[in-house]
Structure 1
Amino acid sequence: MANPVVTVENGRSAQPSSTRRRPVFPFTAIVGQEEMKLALLLNVIDPKIGGVMIMGDRGTGKSTTIRALADLLPEIDVVADDPFNSHPRDREMMGDAVRQQVEQGLEVPIAKKKVTMVDLPLGATEDRVCGTIDIEKALSEGVKAFEPGLLAKANRGILYVDEVNLLDDHLVDVLLDSAASGWNTVEREGISVRHPARFVLVGSGNPEEGELRPQLLDRFGMHAEIRTVKEPALRVQIVEQRTEFDQDPEIYLDACQTQQDELQHRLVLAQERLKTVAIDHDLRVKISQVCSELDVDGLRGDIVTNRAAKALTAFEGRDEVTVQDIRRVVTLCLRHRLRKDPLESIDSGYKVEKVFNQVFGLESGE
């Protein structure tokens, strides 16, 4: 089956009016919130970082930024009409049925698809998230009748959970397990179905409504804090940009298209470059020393800091991680791992910065 022909107008895919998607505010036009934007970009470059938890005030553009990121990403190759967005060439990202076809030497139809962003509703059940098996059909017809859930739809995309701190702990566990393993397994009455579930997990919430338990928080790769912009001039700029976009989205998007294309290109190059990025042994030892002196439980902090520093280096177009690369990501990777007591507040970054400077022999301002 031939790939569908996609025409391009002004850098964007032209779609029939019946299927044209609602315009999304461009990622490159979002003012401020640099911590959140950096954490999201690094997770796109290396999804194995483990997702990002964004905590901050209401109305600070969390949802807008995440939708803008999904819209920014280039289209991906998928197996046509596959419920899991299976990769047509990478066997680790194929559903079982597609893998069997490939192993038998059969040709699989390929289509182009925008990266999916799945919004997880707060009231979602485990069946809605993981999918269900129709036992009657399985017993009567001898087939694994599986109804895919949101994890299937999110494969190779972004799964966004707003107010994740209000979500049932068991469901948060399920999401984190799938994000970490890259697979979702559903078992019922002795019948088991599994499918790939590799996605960037993004959670957001308002600290006033409570924090996640430390055990769950630790499993998010990064933790970004965002605050309401205080400077009047920046607030005016944000309001004016939003007004311009709402008045005529197409004209606004056209004006931002060059920047959007440049950032998209940088992300693609960074994903390719990531495999070649190296981090010196001494720097790795110092990262682990920082984690040790901060009394971070387990080794997740060490692993994520190494991964994030390499992703940032790739994004900057370099092959060797520097001390400054580590400095830019270390707070994002460690601040949420310092809490031992659920009643403690998350470190703003002061403790991490202080220990980092001591271990690396830097002055605060360097």
Structure 2
Amino acid sequence: MTATVQAPPKTRRQVFPFTAIVGQEEMKLALLLNVIDPKIGGVMIMGDRGTGKSTTIRALADLLPEIDVVEGDPFNSDPEDPDLMSDEVRQKVEQQQPINTVKKKVQMIDLPLGATEDRVCGTIDIEKALSDGIKAFEPGLLAKANRGILYVDEVNLLDDHLVDVLLDSAAGGWNTVEREGISIRHPAQFVMVGSGNPEEGELRPQLLDRFGMHAEIRTVKEPNLRVQIVEQRAEFDGNPSDFSDKYSSEQVALQDKIVQAQKLLPSVTIDYDLRVKISEICSELDVDGLRGDIVTNRAAKAIAAFEGRTEVTIDDIRRVIVLCLRHRLRKDPLESIDSGYKVKKSVARIFGLELEE
């Protein structure tokens, strides 16, 4: 039995509206598809400094509809889904004890560069555990990120060990903390978004491969667009609430579209021949493992659901496959061809399409 408590009135600071962001279509599409189907596995955004990476991610988190969470639970437990409940909440549900639920904004958790493993995963108070016989757990950032977005800026500067921990949690959906023979686990299902500047160092290929999608963004070169972006930013900084009001109907429409897409996703199908062609492309490009095939299938279904359709088309695949495969190709230091172009070339050949520039 659950009783719903109303969320407190809006007292949050204003965030730049997602629908007001000019350009960067590749990044916006990758983020939206990951929200529709978090099992795509997150997105790595590589690009120049000052291109609005963190503004866009914050805007996306702010756009998302509120979710039902168990009141007072540090893990944002879902009152309905056992896979998204902490052990304590699940016990209560099994024993049919009443639990209160509240509406809460989807969390966007920033991972600071200098974060320690304890700060990320949480800690167990050994003294309390030994003296009082209870598992005293201090939740970390992964607990707060459950059912939300975890944003790691400059992921290429993060300690490799920490990136491994994050990706393991993102892949398995659970975080386990073990100290002195005491073990605690909690749900940690989140959309992992990493960003970085290629000039500051590349990410290891095996880590890159663990991100579902890879978006590349460049500084806008078109002078008129640059002026538009600068003016928008100035207008927002001058009066955030007036600026946000101008986009409120577009924001609501996009929010509804995301909710509808999430509902429609389970009924989206992808024809067997198209699945074979996706695997043919991955094989031709010499992509290691099957993650590329799986992510491309998921992303194509998500884009079809986003557009309100239940069947995946060749065009859906064409629009997402570069995002899903470009970071999985083996790097040849002597080759100057962009990996995204290689993917497009293979797609055009196998599907018999015109090669897009």
Helix, strand or coil at the partner of 2:350: helix
Q: Which runs of 5+ in 1 are unaligned?
A: 7-12
> Per-residue displacement from partner, 1:148-199 (whole Å, max 9, x unpaired)?
0000000000000000000001100110000011000011111110000000
> Per-residue displacement from partner, 1:66-104 (whole Å, max 9, x unpaired)?
000000001100000100000001001000000000000
Q: Which runs of 5+ in 2 are unaligned?
A: none
The 5 Å alignment of 1:81-230 reads 81-230=72-221
Once residues 165 and 106 of structure 1 are traced to their aligned partners in structure 2, the CA distance between those partners, rounded to angstroms, is 46
Residue 5 of structure 2 corresponds to 4
Q: Which moved more, 1:340-349 or 1:306-315?
A: 340-349
Once residues 343 and 103 of structure 1 are traced to their aligned partners in structure 2, the CA distance between those partners, rounded to angstroms, is 60
Is the CA contact 1:54–1:203 (under 8 Å) kept in the aligned structure 2? yes
Q: Which amino acid aligns with 2:143?
A: A
Q: Which amino acid aligns with 2:56?
A: T
Is the CA contact 1:60–1:227 (under 8 Å) kept in the aligned structure 2? yes
Q: 1:338 to 1:262 in 2, by over 3 A?
A: same
Q: Once the two structures are aligned, what percentage of the paired residues are identical?
A: 78
Helix, strand or coil at the partner of 2:4: coil
Aligned positions, number: 356
Helix, strand or coil at the partner of 2:265: helix
> Per-residue displacement from partner, 1:120-175 (whole Å, max 9, x unpaired)?
00000000000011111111111111110000000000000000000001100110
Q: Which amino acid aligns with 1:91?
A: P
> Per-residue displacement from partner, 1:259-307 (whole Å, max 9, x unpaired)?
0000000000000000000000000000000000000000000000000
Verify: 1:74 aligned to 2:65, yes or no.
yes
Is the CA contact 1:182–1:197 (under 8 Å) kept in the aligned structure 2? yes
Once residues 226 and 298 of structure 1 are traced to their aligned partners in structure 2, the CA distance between those partners, rounded to angstroms, is 26
Once residues 110 and 200 of structure 1 are traced to their aligned partners in structure 2, the CA distance between those partners, rounded to angstroms, is 23
Helix, strand or coil at the partner of 2:203: coil
Verify: 1:265 aligned to 2:256, yes or no.
yes
Q: Which amino acid aligns with 1:320?
A: E
Verify: 1:295 aligned to 2:286, yes or no.
yes
> Per-residue displacement from partner, 1:223-274 (whole Å, max 9, x unpaired)?
0000000000000100111111111111111110000000000000000000
Q: 1:23 to 1:192 in 2, by over 3 A?
A: same
Q: Which amino acid aligns with 1:47?
A: P
Once residues 359 and 260 of structure 1 are traced to their aligned partners in structure 2, the CA distance between those partners, rounded to angstroms, is 38
Once residues 29 and 265 of structure 1 are traced to their aligned partners in structure 2, the CA distance between those partners, rounded to angstroms, is 17
Q: 1:232 to 1:163 in 2, by over 3 A?
A: same
TM-score (norm 1): 0.95
Deviation of 1:344 after TM superposition, in Å, equals: 8.1
Once residues 341 and 103 of structure 1 are traced to their aligned partners in structure 2, the CA distance between those partners, rounded to angstroms, is 55
Q: CA RMSD in A?
A: 1.6
Q: Which amino acid aligns with 1:93?
A: L
Is the CA contact 1:185–1:192 (under 8 Å) kept in the aligned structure 2? yes
Helix, strand or coil at the partner of 1:185: strand
